[in-house]
Homo-oligomer: A and B are copies of this chain.
């Protein structure tokens, strides 16, 4: 996967300070295979290894780099004055981290590795200037922003569910969908994060996440073994996940489709 074009020949033992990857690699990681070409092969990024629980981005840090996850996984966090750590979301292979630094040149949220991980380090200003020559890099940036916004919406959707069981069911389905998009199994899930991280992200107590998981297991939807979860009855999970807050009493959806503006 790594084109070590001009670099050292021992891929496995490359020092993190010297390891490099190309923009084409990043494009492929992000799912933009068609945009990887000979021109982007010549754009090199350094890579950085982050061990489990290591901090890739500190909250409040000045914005300099964007990172693309090559291997491993991260959680996005925001710590409030009380020291409570709110988990904003999770990032996996191909996701770009650090985009919130676009606001006022400071990272409003941090990124912490859930396991030993590797990222491509993309200096933002260089990326921008290079993107004026290379539309592929421009597309990469826009795509990354779109994906990030999409993930935020999804997370809000998770949190909006009324019951905790529904939230957990949605979380599992969402997780499975992302795994599937990466070519992994959508049935066998290995959770990289703790129950507490999930709980923070869903806005419930961490005990509640556990209870919801055992409840879902007892109803036959899933099996749970530590952090390994297997989805047994996906349709049942989907059915469970549908229940939202309140009845669709208003006809707001209908009204909306009427209220089209020319």
| Chain A residues proximal to chain B, CB less than 8 Å | 48, 50-51, 53-56, 58, 78-86, 88, 99-104, 108-110, 112, 128, 132, 138, 142-143, 145-150, 152-153, 155-157, 159-160, 200, 203, 205, 242-246, 248, 250, 252-253, 255-257, 259-261
Residue of B nearest to A159 (CB): B159
Report B-chain residues with C-beta under 8 Å of the C-beta of A243.
82
B55 contacts A256, CB within 8 Å? yes
Residue of B nearest to A145 (CB): B145
Chain B: minimal CB distance from A241 (Å): 10
Report B-chain residues with C-beta under 8 Å of the C-beta of A82.
242-244, 248
Contacts A78-B157, A244-B82; A146 near B259 (Cβ below 8 A): no
A244 contacts B112, CB within 8 Å? no
B261 contacts A56, CB within 8 Å? yes
Report B-chain residues with C-beta under 8 Å of the C-beta of A203.
159-160, 203, 245
B146 contacts A148, CB within 8 Å? no
Report B-chain residues with C-beta under 8 Å of the C-beta of A255.
53
A55 contacts B244, CB within 8 Å? no
Residue of B nearest to A155 (CB): B156
Report B-chain residues with C-beta under 8 Å of the C-beta of A147.
103
- Which of B102, B157, B159 contacts A143, CB < 8 Å? B102
B148 contacts A149, CB within 8 Å? yes
Apart from the given pairs A102-B149, A149-B152, A160-B200, 18 other A-B contacts in the complex at a CB distance below 8 Å: A50-B261, A53-B255, A54-B259, A80-B157, A80-B242, A82-B243, A83-B248, A83-B253, A84-B246, A84-B248, A85-B253, A85-B256, A99-B146, A100-B153, A103-B147, A108-B149, A159-B160, A203-B245
A146 contacts B55, CB within 8 Å? no
Report B-chain residues with C-beta under 8 Å of the C-beta of A152.
149, 152-153, 156
A88 contacts B260, CB within 8 Å? no
B101 contacts A146, CB within 8 Å? yes
A245 contacts B80, CB within 8 Å? no
CA A109 to CA B147, docked complex, whole Å: 13
